[in-house]
Structure 1
Amino acid sequence: MDSPHGAAVTAGNLGLKGPRGWAFRGLDVEARPGSLVAIEGPSGSGRTCLLLALTGRMRPTEGHAEVGGLRLPRKMAAVRRVCALGPVPGVSELDPAFTVAEHLRERALLQRRYGGSLRALLRPRAERIATAQERIDTALAAAGLDPATLPKAERTSVRDLERLEALRLSVALALIGGPRLLAVDDTDLKLSDSERAEAWELLRSVAAGGTTVLAVCSQAPEGALTLRTGTENDTNGNGVKSPADDTDGTKDTAGTADGTTTGKGTADAFAETGRA
C-alpha cells in the first residue's frame, strides 16, 4: 500500500446548528499534514458532529474549512474520498457477528471495487488477491494488530475482542484504503490508563507515518493540537488554545470550538443535517 500523504486541516468560524442549538460554533484551527488533532469534550458536547463535519459527513451551518485543499462545505464528496472513519457509533461500526477475517476481506474487496482504478480491476485474479493481502498486512501492521494473538486468530468474532483490540481493528480497516486523514470517535472510551496510553501511541504512530488523525476523546494527550467542545463548567462553551508543544508536527496555533448544546445536541444536529 502506498504511504498516504496527510491532509492539512484548516477552519475559520466553523459552526453547525441543530434544532436545539449549536452543536459547535466559532471553530478556528490550522493543522499541518500528519498532525494528531484531539477533539476533547464530554459526551453530548458536539464533538462527534465536529469530527463528521471536518470529514465531509455533515454540512456546516456557517464558516468554512479545508481538508487537503478541498473546501467545505462545497467539496464534501471529495473530502469524503480522502478521509476514512475509524469507529464512529451509528456511522461506522464493526459488526459484532463478523470475524476479524470477514471484516478485513470485505474492506479489501470494497476498496478494490470502488477505490481502485479500472486497470487494477482488470489484473489477473492471483495478482488482485496478492495486492489485497498486501494492503491488509500493511494496515494491520500500522494498527499494531496481530490476528495470531487473538483467541481464535482471524476467526475471532468482533464480539469477543477487547475494547483496544476492536479499536486497532477499526483503524486497520480504515487504513486499507490509504486515506490522507483518519477520524476516530470515542478514542479513550472504556479504556484503562495503560490501554489509553496504548491507543494514543497507536494514533501518534499513524500520524508519524504521514496520515493526519482527528480523534474524539474525553481527555486529550500531551503534544496533540487540541480542540475543546463545551463543558458543563463552561457555560459559554469556549474552546482552549492548543498546547505549545510542537512535537507532533502541528503549528502552535489556537483552536476554539463553541459547543453550546447539552446531551441531545449531537443527535439533533444529525436530524437536521443528515449524513452524506
Structure 2
Amino acid sequence: MRNRSHRSRAVLAVVAAALLGVAGCDATGGDSPAPNGSTAAGRPSPRPTPAWDRSPGSVAAVGDSITRGFDACTVLSDCPEASWATGSDAGVRSLAIRLLGAAGAAERSWNYAVTGARMADLPGQMAQAVTREPDLVAVMAGANDACRSSVSAMTSVAEFRTDFEDALDTLREALPKAQVYVASVPDLKRLWSEGRTNPLGKQVWKLGICPSMLGDADSLDAAATLRRDTVQDRVEAYNTVLAEVCAKDRYCRFDGGAVFDYRFGTDELSHWDWFHPSKSGQAWLAETAYRVVTARKPVA
C-alpha cells in the first residue's frame, strides 16, 4: 500500500508539472506582453500619427495674384498688405497675424507669390520660401492654369499634378517636416455668374481677365456654355489633384474644397475687377486657412 501511494503521488506531481508548463508556454497569450512592434494577435502595431503643430512659429506663402492681394486696395495693383496669408491689414487679419500676432507676423512671415503665376511657377517659389525655413507654407495656386486665352491653352491635369509634386519635393528636400496648407482653386464659374451682373466689371473683364471663363460674359449660347463647363471641369480636376497629392504627404493639409465650395457674393469680390477677392474676401480666406491649420484633425 505504501508503494502504491508513493507511486500515485509521483504521477500526480508529473501531471501537475506538465499542466503548469503548458499554461506558461504561450508568450503572447493571457496577460503576457506581446513582442515589440506587434499586437497581442501578432499584427503589426499601427504607425503613430505624426503630430501636427497647430501653432507654427513662422509662415511663408506661395501662389498667384490672390495671395498677392491683387486689386484688393487699388486698381490693377498688388496689395500684399491685404493678403489672406501674410498681410498686415487689421481688417483682413491674415493667417500669419492670427497665428503669430501682428508683431510676430511682421518678423516671421514672407510672401513669395507672384501675380499671374501658374502651378509651373510653384517649384521656383517654393525654392525661395525654403531659404526662410518656415514652419508652415501656405499654398494657393491653380486659377491661372484654367484662366487662359482659350480652353485649349489650359494646363493639362497631368502637367498640373507633376508641377505640384515637384513643388512639394522641393520643400521636402530642404525641410522634411515643414507643414503645408493647401487651398482649393476657387469656383471660377461662380465668379462669372456673380460678376456679370455688374456692367463695369464686364468692361474690366474685356481687358483680358480670365478669357476662357469670362470672355463674352453675356453669351448664353451652346458654345459659350460648353466653354465655361469645360473650364469648370478642369478646375474640379485640379482640386482632385491637390487633394490626392496632399494626402500622400504626412505634413500636408488640404482645405477639403472649402474655397471652391464657398458661396461668395459681390461683397467678397474686388470692385475694381469683380474677379479677385476684396478685403472682405481676403478675410474669409484667412479665416478658412486658420480653421484648417488649427483644427485637431485634418478636414475629411
Aligning the two structures, in what range does the TM-score lie when normalised by the shorter sequence?
0.3 to 0.5
More strand by share: 1
Task: Calculate the TM-score normalised by the size of structure 1.
Answer: 0.35
Report which of the two structures shows the higher radius of gyration computed on alpha carbons: 2
Give the number of the structure with larger relative contact order, counting CA–CA contacts within 8 Å between residues 6 or more apart.
1
Task: Calculate the TM-score normalised by the size of structure 2.
Answer: 0.33
